[in-house]
């Protein structure tokens, strides 16, 4: 009986720790997209997660370890959103739907839940190797997803076109968020969308 109770307490403690860890990572994944890697501090993350600053090291060996896990979560969320768009559409319409969702005004305004490549791209080259590794994996995943929508999938031309498409998508979204004129912001996204849609057809 004592053995069962001890196991039950250990399981409850482990579950509570896992839930706290998930909360920290979720908060951090939003925070890095909203405030950048440099603007994301441990104290602020722990406070927003409803935990004490001192509890941080029970979950992560370092701030860089937290940032890497937060980046992985942000990338996973972005990849899932893109894959969901593709899964809902007939084969020939998936790329256009993906482009439309990515370059939408809603995505442009929803920084903390949006694409981490556009939110963090300019900062990533200065981050720890584990953060850059996460970003590289996500970039390859998105290139592959785009290439698979091409009728030439499996050929070098499909891969090259996917590289150009992703670069244009991310660049247009990043610049549309950088400017302080709504008309120019809309114009950047809409021009990129028109160009990429024509290229895809």
pLDDT in tens, the chain (201 residues): 555 556 666 577 777 788 999 999 999 999 999 999 999 999 999 999 999 988 999 999 999 999 999 999 999 999 999 999 999 998 789 999 999 999 999 999 999 999 999 999 999 999 999 999 999 999 999 999 999 999 888 899 999 999 999 999 999 999 999 999 999 999 999 999 999 998 876
**Taking the domains of the chain in order of start, what are their residue ranges?**
2-200
Q: Which residues of 166-198 are buried (b: 16+ CB within 10 A; e: fewer)?
A: bebbbebbbebbeeeeeeebeebbeebbeebee
- Structure-token pair, residue 62: 């370092």
pTM, 2 dp = 0.87
| CATH 1.10.357.10 assigned to 2-200 | yes
């Amino acid at each position: 009986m004592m053995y069962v109770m001890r196991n039950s307490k250990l399981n409850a403690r482990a579950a509570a720790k896992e839930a706290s860890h998930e909360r920290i990572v979720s908060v951090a994944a939003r925070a890095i997209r909203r405030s950048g890697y440099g603007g994301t501090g441990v104290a602020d993350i722990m406070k927003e997660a409803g935990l004490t600053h001192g509890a941080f090291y029970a979950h992560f060996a370092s701030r860089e370890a937290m940032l890497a896990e937060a980046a992985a979560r942000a990338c996973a969320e972005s990849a899932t959103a893109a894959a969901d768009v593709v899964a809902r559409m007939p084969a020939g319409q998936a790329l256009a739907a993906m482009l439309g969702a990515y370059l939408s005004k809603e995505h442009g305004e929803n920084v903390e839940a949006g694409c981490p490549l556009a939110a963090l791209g300019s900062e990533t080259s200065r981050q720890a190797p584990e953060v850059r590794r996460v970003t590289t994996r996500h970039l390859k995943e998105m290139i592959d997803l785009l290439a698979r929508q091409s009728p030439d999938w499996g050929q070098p031309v499909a891969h090259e076109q996917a590289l150009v498409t992703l670069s244009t998508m991310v660049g247009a979204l990043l610049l549309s968020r950088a400017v302080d004129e709504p008309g120019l912001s809309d114009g950047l996204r809409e021009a990129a969308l028109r160009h990429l849609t024509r290229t895809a057809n």
